Structures are given as structure tokens and as C-alpha cells.
């Protein structure tokens, strides 16, 4: 980053996904690296999903409200976490006003507890965006990593409006999915493209002979077709089941929390679901793969996504077969992109037959310069420039 004193004395109030979620998202990766540069208060911001069973949701919401009065939890020196939940029943009278008042009080209380006097507000999710420009911040950043209104189970109209409102309120906006960039720039001209990064040094361990393979992935009938990530509604489970039935001699190894109905997959003898695994161990599981797959359903959420697992797979060196989306298409030189289940199977067979050590090295090289560290350094350089410009334009400096 360029030499500047713009960040001196500043901390970051970072509104992200649940810190303890099974799946490590870009929200976690960016926050961890930002905390290496600046003091950071990570604010768990649950409550984007629209409520279903009202009694259960009320109890859950009030449990989280109780957690919000606790002091921030230290993660490491200069890095804290707190919970500032919202009641999810936003269309009920008074709930929105309560969320605004309680959220502002709880965040300011947490900042006082850790002694954060000057801050940048940094949003990675849109639903707490009503706090943007309300925390006495020197700068407000929105780092949009997804088409949130397209997530299953959310109030699409409400979340879409919150997303747009936050885009307008932010002093700086970064957008990870390329499909969203043009629309976001129309809302806020101070918008920059910032695709996901990857922990290259971690995932390339899958290509290291010294890396152990977990016991549950050893001696599986091969070839082994692997998937890493949460099994949600946007995963094409029917495609995976069809592939498994078409190639009963192959093993399909799924590593991640099953948040969707996977009963059909569990009934297949050549499908192994091993559940969520600690993030640092993922390269060990990937080492067992002969090829990796991205079997998304073709919906709005996927069309506007920037799949984190794409770069992680490439960093392992393993062959990758995927459905199409605009960001994946940028890597077509290293990823086999399929349309339809028959082509998906054909591409898998070719990927297995044509793999080589040189091809693995080429895949790793394709993402070697796209680390999370370099992404955060680039973003902080833009933030620093914006702060310098703002301070030089202030009346006392003119």
C-alpha cells in the first residue's frame, strides 16, 4: 500500500456473516486480513432470512438479543467479535424502529468497550445497512459479495431494497460478482470491482505428497469426484445423483454441511457425505479427489455469483468441471464448463483422462497471484486514497 497516515488511529466496525458458521466465506477471509492492518470489531449480523415458524423464530431472536448485551469477545489482539442481531419480523409495526435503535446502541456500546474512538464502517451484508453513516464513521464501505435478494428463504423485496439503500449510502463500494458490477455502478459511481481471493498457500497443500488424506477418504473406489462447500438449495443434487447412478464405479465425496434434503444421495452406495470439516483440513480432503465439481442450479443467485470454491479448487491443482456462470467463464482455459448433465459427465471423463502434472501446475499458477492478502491490500489502498481525498477537501485543510 502507498505511504499514508490516513488509517492512523482508525478501527473497523465490520458487519459480516455469522463468525462461527461452518462455512468460511469471503466475509471471514477479508475480516481476518483487515485485522492484520487495523483494529477490527466483527459484528455478527444474523437476521436476513425471512421468518417461518414464528414461535421458534421469536425464541431464537430473543436468545440472540440476550447475547448482544455481553462484552465483545477477543479473537486475538486487536480483533474482537460481538453479536448485534435484529428481530426478523421487519414488516410488523415497530420492529424496524426497534432494530435501528437497538442496533445503534449495541454497536456503540461495543465500540466503547474496546476503546474504538474513530472508525470505518464496513458492511458485507445489507440488512444492517440502516447503520451506515450513523456511527460517526470517517468512511463507510460496502463490500458486496453476493446477490442477497436471490438467496432462498429471504424477503427478496425487502433485502433488495436494503441492498440498494446501502449501495447509495456507502462512500466506497466494492463488488465481487462481475454480473452485479454495472448495476451497482449505476447506483453509486464510486464502485470498484474486487473479485474473491484464495488462500493459495493452504489449498496447494492438496498437491503436496506430504499432505495426509483423512481416514474417511482413504481407499475409496476411484476415480473420486469431489465437492467442497455447504450443500444448499442452489446445489443441483439431482445432477450429482444422476452422475452417481451413471458411474456406480466412481465415488462422489461431498465435504460440507448438508443444509438441504440429501436423502436421495445418502441412499446411493457410491456417494459419501462427510459433513462440515475444519477449514484448515480441506486440502487434505481435496487431495483424495481425482476431479472437483461445481454443480450449481442455473438460477438468478448462481448467475450473479462469484464462486469462492472456484479459486480454491484451482489452487489444489485438481481438474474442475462446472456449470456456466460469468465469473467461471473467465477461467475457461483451466475449467471445463458443461451445459446439461450429459455434457457434464463427458467433461468429467475427459478431465480424468487428460489430467497431468503440468495441467495441475497450470491450474495453481492461474490463481497464484489472487491471494486474499493481495485483494485486501488493493482494497485498503483505495480506502486510503478516499480518506486522503476527503481530509484534503475538508474546510480546515483548505
Task: Examine the domain organization and report whether 216 and 361 are in the same domain.
Answer: yes
With 60 as the cut, is the pLDDT of residue 283 above it? yes
DSSP of 131-161 = GTT-S--SEEEEEE-S-GGGSTTB-HHHHHH
With 80 as the cut, is the pLDDT of residue 92 above it? no
137-186 residue pLDDT tens: 999 999 998 888 887 777 778 888 999 999 999 999 999 988 899 999 99
Average pLDDT over residues 202-214: 96
Least confident of 55-59, 109-113, 203-207, 261-265: 55-59
CB 84 within 8 A of CB 68: yes
* H-only helix segments in the chain: 26-34, 54-67, 95-114, 156-169, 178-187, 200-203, 237-246, 263-266, 282-287, 300-303, 308-316, 326-329, 341-354, 357-367, 372-393
Dist CA 37 CA 358 (whole Å)? 37
Task: Examine the domain organization and report whether 308 and 214 are in the same domain.
Answer: yes
- In a domain, residue 2? The reply is no
Least confident of 1-5, 212-216, 263-267, 380-384: 1-5
**DSSP-derived pairing of the beta strands 271-273 and 139-144:** unpaired
- In a domain, residue 1? The reply is no
Cell 462427510 belongs to residue: 274
Confidence of residue 398 (pLDDT cuts 50, 70, 90): very low
Confidence of residue 54 (pLDDT cuts 50, 70, 90): very low
Q: Give the pLDDT of residue 58.
A: 56
- In a domain, residue 207? The reply is yes
Distance separating the N- and C-terminal Cα atoms of the chain = 26
Q: Which CATH number do you get for residue 83?
A: 3.40.50.2000
Task: Examine the domain organization and report whether 92 and 181 are in the same domain.
Answer: yes
Task: Examine the domain organization and report whether 135 and 246 are in the same domain.
Answer: no
306-365 residue pLDDT tens: 788 999 999 999 999 999 988 899 999 999 999 999 999 999 999 999 999 999 999 999
Q: Residue 100 is part of which domain span?
A: 10-195+371-397
Task: Examine the domain organization and report whether 149 and 246 are in the same domain.
Answer: no
Task: Examine the domain organization and report whether 174 and 204 are in the same domain.
Answer: no
111, burial (CB in 10 Å: exposed 0-12, middle 13-18, buried 19+):
buried
Task: Examine the domain organization and report whether 130 and 116 are in the same domain.
Answer: yes
- DSSP 8-state symbol, 296: B
**DSSP-derived pairing of the beta strands 251-255 and 224-228:** parallel
pTM to 2 decimal places: 0.87
With 90 as the cut, is the pLDDT of residue 27 above it? no
Dist CA 286 CA 283 (whole Å)? 5
pLDDT higher at 393 or 147: 147
Amino acid at each position: 500500500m502507498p505511504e499514508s497516515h490516513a488509517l492512523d488511529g482508525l478501527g473497523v466496525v465490520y458487519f459480516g456473516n455469522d463468525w462461527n458458521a461452518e462455512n468460511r466465506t469471503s466475509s471471514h477471509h477479508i475480516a481476518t486480513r483487515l485485522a492484520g492492518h487495523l483494529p477490527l470489531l466483527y459484528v455478527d449480523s444474523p437476521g436476513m432470512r425471512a421468518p417461518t415458524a414464528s414461535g421458534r423464530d421469536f425464541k431464537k431472536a430473543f436468545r440472540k438479543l440476550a447475547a448482544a448485551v455481553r462484552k465483545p469477545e477477543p479473537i486475538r489482539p486487536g480483533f474482537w467479535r460481538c453479536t448485534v442481531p435484529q428481530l426478523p419480523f421487519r414488516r410488523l409495526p415497530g420492529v424496524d424502529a426497534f432494530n435501528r435503535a437497538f442496533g445503534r446502541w449495541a454497536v456503540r456500546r461495543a465500540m466503547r468497550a474496546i476503546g474504538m474512538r474513530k472508525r470505518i464502517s464496513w458492511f458485507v451484508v445489507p440488512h444492517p445497512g440502516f447503520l451506515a453513516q450513523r456511527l460517526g464513521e470517517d468512511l463507510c464501505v460496502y463490500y458486496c459479495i453476493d446477490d442477497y435478494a436471490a438467496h432462498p428463504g429471504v424477503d427478496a423485496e425487502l433485502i433488495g431494497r436494503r441492498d440498494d439503500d446501502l449501495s447509495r449510502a456507502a462512500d466506497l463500494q466494492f463488488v465481487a460478482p462481475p454480473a452485479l458490477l454495472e448495476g451497482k455502478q449505476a447506483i453509486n459511481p464510486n464502485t470498484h470491482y474486487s473479485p474473491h481471493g484464495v488462500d493459495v498457500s493452504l489449498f496447494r497443500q492438496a498437491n503436496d505428497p506430504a499432505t495426509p488424506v483423512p481416514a474417511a477418504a482413504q481407499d475409496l473406489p476411484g476415480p473420486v469426484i469431489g465437492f467442497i462447500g455447504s450443500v444448499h438449495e442452489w446445489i443441483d443434487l439431482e445432477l450429482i445423483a444422476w452422475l452417481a447412478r451413471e458411474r456406480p464405479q466412481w465415488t462422489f465425496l461431498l465435504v460440507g454441511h448438508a443444509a438441504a434434503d440429501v436423502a436421495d444421495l445418502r441412499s446411493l452406495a457410491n456417494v459419501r457425505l462427510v459433513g462440515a470439516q475444519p477449514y484448515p483440513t480441506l486440502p487434505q480432503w481435496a487431495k483424495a479427489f481425482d476431479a472437483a465439481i461445481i454443480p450449481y442450479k442455473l438460477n438468478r443467485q448462481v448467475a450473479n455469483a462469484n464462486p469462492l470454491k472456484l479459486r480454491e479448487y484451482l489452487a489444489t491443482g485438481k481438474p474442475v468441471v462446472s456449470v456456466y456462470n460469468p465469473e467461471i467463464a473467465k477461467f475457461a482455459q483451466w475449467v471445463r464448463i458443461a451445459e446439461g448433465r450429459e455434457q457434464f459427465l463427458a467433461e468429467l471423463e475427459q478431465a480424468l483422462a487428460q489430467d497431468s502434472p503440468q495441467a495441475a501446475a497450470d491450474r495453481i499458477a492461474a490463481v497464484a497471484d489472487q491471494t486474499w492478502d493481495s485483494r485486501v491490500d488493493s482494497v485498503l489502498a483505495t480506502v486510503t486514497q478516499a480518506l486522503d481525498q476527503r481530509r484534503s477537501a475538508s474546510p480546515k485543510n483548505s
